[in-house]
Structure 1
Amino acid sequence: MLIKASTPAAHSSPQKILFVTNNLSQAELAVFSALKSKFEFLIYINNVHKEYSFQTDYILPANVKMTSDYKSVIMLTSIFSAVITTVGHISPVLNEKFSAIIKACIACGLPIIEVPHGLYQWGFNFSDDSQFVNTASNTHGAGYPVPTFANFQISWFDNDSVGYPRHREERIRKINDIEVPIYTVITTNTNWYMYGFDEQRVLAQSIFEYARSRPSELFIWCHHSAELSQMNLLNNMLGAKPPNIFRYGHDKDIYFHSMDTTEDVIEHAAAGITTISTCLLDFELHKVPTAVFWCEGLSAVSDSMTHATTFQSPEEILKLEFTAPITGKLKPFDCESFDRQILSAIETPAPTNMSQRIFLYS
């Protein structure tokens, strides 16, 4: 670390962008996005232990700084030209520190740019027709298209997209060649209200019976953190899982050093079983043969994929020949396009967004 002499009023080039993330995976996406950008980035990650992971396991680009201290971010807010957020809708379960940072950005009049944290999400490219509205529920939806509090959006997937940040040649990990046993990875997000209790039960039964039919094989389960809720049926069924299924994580059943994200586990997997989620992009990127769980509530989404091997029951998955999915949405990341869209957001007068006023008083 070098100490630089400067005056408080000094302004340096390049322009500085604040990138606010909610977890390690999103922070990793932010680093990939910033790599070779002409902007300088401060990336906020809301966990000090995850910040330590970046200190020990990653090679950060020269234009990237990181912090897990939200008060430092708020103190520095006025130096930034724009803020990028991975969540652009007002959520009753939004982290308080995350919210405090966004409120500071609104107060400073910074243009807010939303990028996706998922392949399908509220306020971006997903809505539902739930008749019972509860945006904090894992059984009910929003009922309407959800407004974003962002002034601008940058997409990974659509016609004017910049591509998927992980889809690039450069690497940011210090260790990439990791020796692991042969395993099938299971990725689920049944905390999402699109999965009813019946569908959670069928999914669990399908996975358990498939694993029991292959007792000598290793299965590693990367569940969504919110699936550990007592309201989630799948969480309450884990006690009945076969002995060859292991939950992934340093505090769970199995863990491989320096493999800290679900994306890492997918990259090194021999096969996969998954629900509809962003993980489909990584299964496609690494050409992992995968079985995709199909359910009625997400039929329009799964049917929109270019190719997927799907199952709806234990009987179907037992007969499947897994194939790599093709989402039709995976594109290489274009850093120049990313920079152009950021610059456009900085130079374009920000449109009035009533959701920002609501956010300040929420």
Structure 2
Amino acid sequence: MKHVCSVINHSLRCLILLGAFAALPSLADDYSETSQLVRANKFAEALTKVDRFLVTKPADPQMRFLKGVIQRNLGKPTEAITTFTKLTEDYPELPEPYNNLAVLYAGQGQYDKARQALEMAIRTNPSYATAHENMGDVYARLASQAYNKALQLDSGNTVVPPKLALIREVFKPNLANPKPPAGTTVASVVAKPDTLAAAAPSTQVPPSKPAAPANVSAAKASAPVVTPAPVASQPTPAPVDNNAAKAAEAAVNAWAQAWSDKDMNKYLAAYSPNFSPSGKQSRSAWEKDRRDRILGKSRINVSLSDISITVNGDQATAKFRQKYKSNALSVSSRKTLSLTKQGQQWLITRESTGN
């Protein structure tokens, strides 16, 4: 999500997530039509359609999430906060509503509440990169407030101004704010330039065009001309080990199957002894949390698609789309696993969501 403040002008990432929840085929038309209204900035019409839908399906998480997004864009942050708060109560396993709550709180200058919401998002999914990025931005804003307060109390303090200047430099506003390119997702339209970063949609927004390099002609004419050293020839890349890639992919699929089967022994055995959970969780606390979450569901189905495996020696990276279903919840997201070969096995050393 992005936020604007008197000292820092930077964007925390707000998750808009129209594609994060996997829609059942019978409901796809409702979601699609509502999404089209949002893309056209017809928020009042979209809200009417959402409300009609929720009369018959009041527990639907995707429409409720979309309702919060629409309320925010209609300038109703209090109502949006209520919607996302209730969503976190009914679906505490979803990190995105917590993240969007942080967006709304930050927009109101309530940075402590934003921090608490992001802590819950990270606790729910420790590998959620967007929430970690937003947390850094919130801490930066809190730091700027603390530095300003220190200067108010001691105007002669010479240590604080450089720190405050550094924060201002890091979070300089981006003066070039072009319109989103054609074909961007709803998230790029709904998430205003002055908000924190919202949950990433299933279709990634194309990255913004990088800033143009500095004008070389601005250098002083008297600057000496340095002849670059010859570039060493690059080594021939090692041939791709297809057998290793297939073995790593098989390990990833076995991990997903063990998760679906709620076979905790096989599931936890898929992780390397060197695996360190994100956040501040210990390995034992993480394993207990995973047991509680997985065994607490009556049914789970995890399916993978678009799997891409990259192998470099005894290290491998697996990128794929993961569809998770349990009871009344269905979520689709991008996921990355880092693996290392230990003996004859490929084991998970790191996992992250949303990239």
- The interval holding the TM-score normalised by the smaller chain is under 0.3
In proportion to residue count, which structure has more helix?
2
Compare relative contact order (CA 8 Å, sep 6+) and give the higher one, 1 or 2: 2
TM-score, normalised relative to structure 2? 0.23
Which one has a bigger Cα radius of gyration?
Answer: 2
